[in-house]
A and B are shown apart, each in its own frame.
Chain A
Amino acid sequence: MLRRNFLWLASKIAIVFAVIGTGFYSLVRALVPDLFYEPSPLSSVGPPEKFPEGVTFIQDRRLFVVREGNDFSIISAICQHLGCTVNYVPLAKTKEVKIKGKIVKEIWEFACPCHGSKYYSEGTNYAGPAPKPLPHFEIARSALTGELMVNTAKIVKSEQRLKL
């Protein structure tokens, strides 16, 4: 290869790398967020006494705290279809449904206003376009303050309950 041809080829490669590297890559990379100014996944929802029997909607965290006697669980209020906030719908009369082979008495359900997805009381999707159930988040009682702590980064099984 002639020296002239080699230098010409090398400079072409250099130009391509310069454009991709400094131009395109850095531009896209700069726009990928490295730091989220968003609420921490681990937060307190308040003392357990605060919650009445049934479902309480925590507005700013978009989740439901469910209390059945002394059993607590936390269900996401974000529809698994396209991210709308689902509504808590108390049922006028109890209905019996079969969830994962078990007969459960329903006194409420969740419904999404955007595309009509419906979920049973423990989050299982049964109607509309939602592809999967509403996730349950990890819940624990803080040893320090006695408040209920939720970790929205950690999804747990829908049968899991915090017993107090």
Chain B
Amino acid sequence: MKEAKNSLWVRLTWAFNPLTLKDAYKARVKNFWLHWFPPRIMKCSVSWSYSFWLGTISGVLFFITLVTGIILMFIYIPSVERAYWTIEDLEFVVSFGWVFRYSHRWAGHLMVVAVFLHMMRVFYTGAYKETAQTESYRYVNWIVGVILLLGTLFLAFTGYLLPWDQLAMWAVTVASAIGKTTPVVGEGAYSLLVGGTLIDQPALIRFYTLHCIALPVLAITLVAYHLWRVRKDGGLACVANLTQENREELTVPAVPIASRRFFLVALVTWIVVLIATLLFRAPLLEPADTSWTPNPAKAPWYFLWLQELITFTTIRLGDYTINGGFVGGVFIPGVLFLALAVWPFIDKSPGVATSKWFHSSRLWQNIIFTIICLSVIFLIAFSYYCRGPYWEVYLPWNRPEIPGRF
């Protein structure tokens, strides 16, 4: 028994299965990787069914994109002549290149989904609201979260251009032209982002730098602050009447309960990404060509709801026309995101609604929020499956395929 206790394996893993409470507390003091866990954690904070651990899942997916992204950076060359061919190399020449490319892509796409679901969870549980007992500023974390959602979308978008194939070229042409239609600042922002009047080498290097350095640094900083704030606000927004008497009953030692669950969530997330990698290829069309637009040209799926909106939001008042790109592509999403960011100040529901799934006092705002979320999801699905050549509507099973140029 004594020998087993001293074996390297036991020494490395003792924190996951401490035999005494003292051992459990000691773990977070002695182990660097565990030191950011609190000594004890609310039972509801580690509950599976309260948070579904969506924040952790988003974080793990982000970590996977960082690691795979760094590996891709060793191979990829951000030049219009060579970018496409280095992606081909990753696909056909580099050993396991496809694993890293596909994992990076699927982790990125799943991150968009996970971050969106995380936001929905926080909204439905009213977790941006203050709890009576602790001095907390949870609305700050909500706003940081909204910025991180935008950051995730922008990271995904800037990554979309890098393969420099027809899919990338036209998705980015459409999406950046949407920004260009903003009055006053649109033209300036467009030339700042694209570095010219058309999508060419300056655009590629700008997107590359944003995707690989500027946005990840911003995201890492904000994620760190986001997590630190969770600790400062007293854990997840589910603090009951915590007193000296019921403390033992409502909390558990964070190590090993929370740490074990964290590693389990990380492992399952990684497995899901690997399965997606093995089952689904990442698309790569022919090299980018400005003179020929594929028919239909679709934006990345997480922007398809915007592409659908701009299709029917061009407003004509006599001779005066407002480009749908502005109404559906900038104004409507702008208002939605602004409303999202300031919602904690609009939401006047009582404190008891905090941390309760679908609390009755928040019925109406939950209904409005659900309608908006479902509309976005519906528009994405409709656009993805039903839009065919020349952006006309077809049933998904008899959508004609227009042959490519070759």
| CB-contact partner of A113 in B188, B295, B322, under 8 A | B295
| CB-contact partner of B197 in A32, A36, A60, A82, under 8 A | A36
* Complex contacts, A128 vs chain B, CB 8 Å: 311, 391
Contact assessment for B290 and A62 in the assembled complex, using a CB-CB cutoff below 8 Å:
yes
* Complex contacts, A113 vs chain B, CB 8 Å: 293-297, 389-391
Contact assessment for B290 and A85 in the assembled complex, using a CB-CB cutoff below 8 Å:
yes
| CB-contact partner of B311 in A28, A59, A115, A131, under 8 A | A115
Question: Is B249 an interface residue, CB under 8 A from the partner?
Answer: no
Query: CA A86 – CA B325 in complex, angstroms?
Result: 17
Contact assessment for A129 and B292 in the assembled complex, using a CB-CB cutoff below 8 Å:
no
Query: CA A44 – CA B34 in complex, angstroms?
Result: 68
| CB-contact partner of B324 in A84, A87, A129, under 8 A | A129
Question: Is B6 an interface residue, CB under 8 A from the partner?
Answer: no
Contact assessment for A115 and B202 in the assembled complex, using a CB-CB cutoff below 8 Å:
no
* Complex contacts, B389 vs chain A, CB 8 Å: 113
Query: CA A54 – CA B322 in complex, angstroms?
Result: 32
Query: CA A115 – CA B120 in complex, angstroms?
Result: 30
A-B contact count (CB 8 A): 101
Question: Is B396 an interface residue, CB under 8 A from the partner?
Answer: no
Contact assessment for A116 and B311 in the assembled complex, using a CB-CB cutoff below 8 Å:
yes
For the residues of A in contact with B, the DSSP-based class is: loop
Question: Is B349 an interface residue, CB under 8 A from the partner?
Answer: no
Contact assessment for A116 and B177 in the assembled complex, using a CB-CB cutoff below 8 Å:
no
Residue with the greatest number of chain B CB neighbours at <10 A, chosen from A62, A82, A132: A82
Question: Is B200 an interface residue, CB under 8 A from the partner?
Answer: yes
Closest approach, in angstroms, between the C-beta of B396 and any C-beta of chain A? 18
* Complex contacts, A112 vs chain B, CB 8 Å: 293, 390-391
**Considering the complex, which residues of chain A in the window 80-116 have a beta carbon less than 8 Å from any beta carbon of chain B?**
81-87, 111-116
Question: Is A33 an interface residue, CB under 8 A from the partner?
Answer: yes
Select from chain A the residue with minimum beta-carbon distance to B294.
A113
Query: CA A60 – CA B291 in complex, angstroms?
Result: 6
Contact assessment for A82 and B310 in the assembled complex, using a CB-CB cutoff below 8 Å:
yes
Query: CA A112 – CA B321 in complex, angstroms?
Result: 19
Number of chain A residues whose Cβ lies closer than 8 Å to a Cβ of chain B: 29
* Complex contacts, B200 vs chain A, CB 8 Å: 37-38
Query: CA A128 – CA B321 in complex, angstroms?
Result: 13
* Complex contacts, B310 vs chain A, CB 8 Å: 81-82, 115, 129
Question: Is A31 an interface residue, CB under 8 A from the partner?
Answer: yes
Contact assessment for B195 and A82 in the assembled complex, using a CB-CB cutoff below 8 Å:
no
Q: A38-B198, A60-B291, A83-B173 are in contact. Are A114 and B324 (CB under 8 A)?
A: no
Binding site for A on B (CB under 8 A): 170, 173-174, 177-178, 180-181, 188, 191-192, 195-198, 200-202, 206, 290-297, 307, 310-314, 321-325, 389-392
The 6 closest A-B pairs by CB, nearest first: A113-B295, A116-B391, A82-B177, A59-B291, A129-B314, A83-B177
Q: List 20 A-B contacts (CB under 8 A).
A: A31-B195, A32-B188, A32-B191, A37-B196, A37-B201, A38-B197, A81-B323, A81-B325, A82-B174, A83-B174, A83-B177, A83-B180, A84-B293, A85-B291, A111-B390, A112-B390, A113-B295, A113-B297, A115-B311, A131-B323
